Amino acid sequence: MTEVWTTPCSPAPVDAVVALPGSKSLTARALVVAALADGPSRLVRPLHARDTDLMVAALRALGVGITADGEDLLVVPGVLRGPATVDAGLAGTVLRFLPPVAALATGPVHLDGDPRLRDRPNAGLIEGLRACGVQVEDGGRGRAPFTVHGTGSVAGGVVTVDASESSQVVSGLLLAAARFERGIDLTVAGAMPSLPHVEMTVATLTEHGVAVAETAGGWQVAPGPIAALDRVVEPDLSNAAPFLAAALVTGGRVTVRDWPRRTTQPGAHLEQLLPRMGATVERTADGLQVRGTGALHGVTADLGEIGELTPVLAALCALADGPSRLTGVAHLRGHETDRLQALDEVLTAVGAQVRQLPDGLEITPGPRRAAQLESYADHRMVHAAAVLGLAIEGVRVADPGAVAKTMPDFTDRWAALLTDPAGVTR
């Protein structure tokens, strides 16, 4: 039977300090680079959720030693080997970061995942791997399932990729490139979304001693060893979005603990975006504090660099005092679900008027009404529904378990936000 979550409605302002689990994107990168390094690495406070569990399982299947030490993960590189089968679930990070690692293995590696994974675009990565000299069998689909025929080495060199559908194509190739014979001299064709995520990749590699340089058209990675590194993973600032949004919706106050002073995470943009919607934002000794002022304004914003924040921001727009226009996010049609279509359906169901643009949404708030919404197997659609439910009594979500992708205990944390401010801990 389908589980249905009735999201809690908050008549009172929330007031909470929230500690959030580690970043999905940073954990995925740390695992991959540690797996290719010259010795063992420790990850402190990594994310433990479906996407990162799948990455751990995939790397183990290739011969990497990964063990838990309490909450930490210890990564011990080994000889990468096939044959192996990888379940990427619905994780874009596994879909795009694992194949370049598989290309370094000695044998075929077959990758598949959830039914929706087979719809997620991946021609850019597959063509990029082929340009690096790797044989990939994909039946001409440019998507999963496919088999990477690893031979133990990858030529690399001068490569042009189409990253218009996902920045992860670029990140995936860069992450493994120091282990390619010639490294990589990567030119990005077409407009690439999510630039901060590539900057995160470059920063991760640099921290591991890899020589990465930005060029006129992309990035170069020199061939060479990858230094092992122990690191503390930052909290996930994209998953902070619904919690911070709760302050705006209820006119309350939410602090996210351990907010990094400097970061490549796209969630950092919330510090500038939320004030445009009516919040006040302040860095306190605890972290980043967002206060609702009672006002919630619509916004016109290009979200091309921070696409994964769109569902929660769109939910805020539906509760605002005026219309919004969110653009730059055509690539969201290839995310966990077609997020522009899903947001259109969800926001319309609760009373907003929505117009889909080729690359975004126009949202005009309307008389609010209760509705049962779908999760679309998308963690961020559940977050968006939770934000709507704070202001609209009777919002329900079918299959809220989609949150397992990056925050398995999201619904408990959300309940604690309203009832037990001190209890919302890591």
Ligand X SMILES: C=C(OP(=O)(O)O)C(=O)O
Binding residues for ligand S3P, rule: CB under 6 A, are 25, 28, 92-93, 166-168, 171, 193-194, 197, 307-308, 331
> If binding is defined by CB under 6 A, does position 201 make contact with ligand X?
no
Q: Is there a catalytic annotation at residue 181?
A: no
* Minimum distance, C-beta of residue 342 to ligand S3P, in the bound complex (Å): 15
> Is residue 166 marked as binding?
yes
Rounded alpha-carbon distances, angstroms, from residue 30 to 41, 120, 157, 176, 340: 9, 23, 24, 12, 30
Please, which residue, 185 or 308, has the CB nearer to ligand X?
A: 308
**Which residue is catalytic, options 308, 336, 362, 374?**
308
Site for ligand X in 269-328 (CB under 6 A): 308
Least distance to ligand X, CB of residue 409, Å? 17
Per CB under 6 A, the segment of 57-65, 91-99, 222-230, 346-354 that binds ligand X is: 91-99
Task: Give strand pairing partners of 150.
Answer: 107
Q: Is 35 in the site for ligand X (CB under 6 A)?
A: no
Task: Select from 10, 27, 41, 93 the one that contacts ligand X (CB under 6 A).
Answer: 93
Select the span of 9-17, 88-96, 287-295, 341-349 touching ligand X (CB under 6 A).
Answer: 88-96
Instruction: Assess 143 for contact with ligand X (CB under 6 A).
Output: no
> Which residues have C-beta within 8 Å of that of residue 40, sequence separation ≥ 6?
74, 75, 76, 77, 228
Nearer to ligand S3P, 93 or 375 (CB): 93
Binding residues for phosphoenolpyruvate: 24, 92, 120, 168, 339, 380, 405
The binding site for ligand X (CB under 6 A) comprises 91-93, 308, 335-336, 380
Give the catalytic positions in this structure: 308
Binding residues: 24-25, 29, 92, 120, 166-168, 194, 308, 335, 339, 380, 405
